[in-house]
Amino acid sequence: MDLQRTPGIRPRPTLWRQLDAASRRSFPVACTALLLLLSAAPLGLPGQAPLQPAVATGCVFFWSIRRPSSMPPAAVFLLGLLSDLLGLTPPGVSVLILLLTHGVAIRWRRVLAGLGALAAWLVFIGVAAGAAALQWAIIGLLSFQLLPSSAALLQFGLTAGLYPALAVVFTMAHRGLADPDRA
């Protein structure tokens, strides 16, 4: 059924309404890109290097579940490329990991959206473990050496531990995106 032909009162599509709708649609990708840039900034934090993949994985997982239309695979690809360029990882590693994270989130979206935050976090812990192990294995294969597993463990712990904080902030932002009167 065509929505334009159904009777009812609809607001006129003014420029401001169109800009508002476009900004709401682009918020997840723009927010993820901004967080990637901030995590790559020279802030002098100890252990800052693994913060960038942790932020990227958490953002892609959350927004792929809550607003999948605002986090399409093409945007995930570009975010992975940005992460690769900023993090100085071999090209394609972050792209692959983020696309796999997106795929898992989309595949289990209906189940995860109905479950509580704790269940979603437990699933994300599995995703974070797989992402850290895959990144460790790919970079080890590309450099032709066995890397220390402590780097993968740190990456996993940081990614799994950061997700609840990201989820709380993003849940509040998601409510504001869905209903601007409640923001």
- What residues does each domain of the chain span? 49-177
**Each residue of 75-100: pLDDT tens digit?**
999 999 999 999 878 889 999 999 99
The residues, any chain, with a CB within 8 Å of residue 176's CB and separated by 6 or more, are: 182, 183
Task: Report residue 183's pLDDT band, with 50, 70 and 90 as the boundaries.
Answer: very low
pLDDT beyond 70 at 179: no
CA distance 172 to 183: 8
Which pLDDT does position 101 carry in this prediction? 96
Q: How many whole angstroms separate alpha carbon 28 and alpha carbon 105? A: 15
Q: pLDDT confidence of 122, banded at 50, 70, 90?
A: very high
Share of the chain above pLDDT 90, in %: 49
Residues 53 and 159: beta-carbon distance below 8 Å:
yes
pLDDT 10s digits, 2-28: 455 666 677 677 888 788 777 778 889
Nearest-CA neighbor of 76 among 48, 38, 124, 36? Answer: 36
* Cα 166 from Cα 59, distance rounded (Å): 7
Average pLDDT (64-70) is: 90
Give the whole-angstrom CA distance, residue 28 versus residue 98: 14
Q: In whole angstroms, what is the distance from residue 120 CA to residue 167 CA?
A: 10
Q: What's residue 4's pLDDT?
A: 58
* CA proximity to 164, closest of 80, 54, 83, 90: 54
Can you tell me the mean pLDDT for 53-64? 94
Nearest to 127 by CA among 149, 148, 109: 109
The least confident of 24-33, 45-54, 65-74, 123-132 is 45-54
